[in-house]
Amino acid sequence: MERKNFIRSLMIGAISTPVIIDACKKTSTDGSTTSGSGTAGTTTSTNGSCTVAPTETEGPFPTKTPASFVRSDITDGKTGYKLTTKIAIGNINNSCAALAGAIVDIWHCDAEGNYSEYGGSGMQSTNYQSVHFLRGRQTTDANGLVTFTSIFPGWYSGRATHIHVHIYNTAGTSLSITQIAFPEGSGTALALVNGYSKGMNGYTYNNADNVFSDDKTGIEIATVTGSLTAGFELNFKLNVKA
């Protein structure tokens, strides 16, 4: 703003301010208790500054809502080959029988190998719609089963394709944190998807992966069936001490 205009704006302000200043004064010399008529000035309880109080319909009335993780379809518009993930939870302390009521979180990367995340740098903000793509939470049914719909994960440097899993009991106490690996070799889903646009050049296979390489018996590798056109289905059984 130009200086001239700024000064002019101050002068306009000077004409209109006395009323507001009076309204804000704690001690009134003339003994009058009325504040300047026509001002909306009252002190709000939130910050103690002399500003107007809310004068509109209250609302919207909030209702209790679960975390946005709680959903079965976690695709959020991400494109890729459809993947249905079925994880069955068993209880080691009960002969690996189905564990009902367990909370299961999963998360994995998109076709390009990126996770949903923001907020790394201080000023970064994000749109409040669909920021938690490819992250989901379900509670196991009577058969200990949860089902998620998403896309076949891509890969990123240094890691074999994987899905993260975190299992909690009903109270939210962590029972197990693990990752699910994918079968490899000709004809597998991994080979069919072929790393999406990246290809498989530079891919880290399970035996070289820093998480899965110690899994000599393949206990962390899921069963994956299906095709590119029909989509894939992943089945995995996970036993926890509950």
Partner 1 sequence: MPQKVITLCYRKIIDSTATNPWDKFIYEDSFTELKMQSQFYNQEGKYSTFAEIILNVPGSEKLHFLVSASIMGYLQQLNGIIPDVLDNLGRRFLTFENFKFEIINSDFNQIDKHKVAINFFSRPLLWHDSIDQYLLVSPFKEITAEETFTNLFQIQPFVSIHAIKNIS
Question: Among residues 31, 38, 77, 172, which is the contact residue for partner 1, using CB under 8 A?
Answer: 172
Residues 6 or more apart whose CB falls under 8 angstroms from that of 152 comprise 80, 81, 82, 83, 111, 189, 193, 232
206: closest CA among 237, 181, 223, 232? 181
Of 81-89, 149-157, 172-180, 192-200: span binding partner 1 (CB under 8 A):
172-180
- Tell me: does residue 38 bind partner 1 (CB under 8 A): no
12 binds partner 1 (CB under 8 A): yes
What single string gives the DSSP state of each residue in 26-60?
A: SS-TT---PPPTT--B---TTT-SS-BPP-S---P
Span of 120-128, 138-146, 180-188, 227-235 interacting with partner 1 by CB under 8 A = 120-128
What is the closest distance, in whole angstroms, from the C-beta atom of residue 136 to partner 1 in the complex?
10
Three-state secondary structure call for residue 239: strand
Q: For partner 1, give the closer residue by CB, 152 or 168.
A: 168
Footprint of partner 1 on residues 45-104 (CB under 8 A)? 46-49, 51-56, 60-69, 103
**Which region, left, alpha or beta, applies to residue 31 given φ > 0 means left and ψ of -120 to 50 means alpha?**
left
Cβ nearer to partner 1, comparing 49 with 95: 49
Contacting residues for 143 by C-beta, under 8 A, at least 6 apart: 88, 98, 100
195 - beta bridge partners? none
Among 38, 120, 185, 199, binds partner 1 (CB under 8 A): 120
Q: Which amino acid is at 233?
A: E
Residue 114 interacts with partner 1 (CB under 8 A): yes or no:
no
Contact letters (x/-) for partner 1, 201-230, by CB under 8 A?
A: ------------------------------
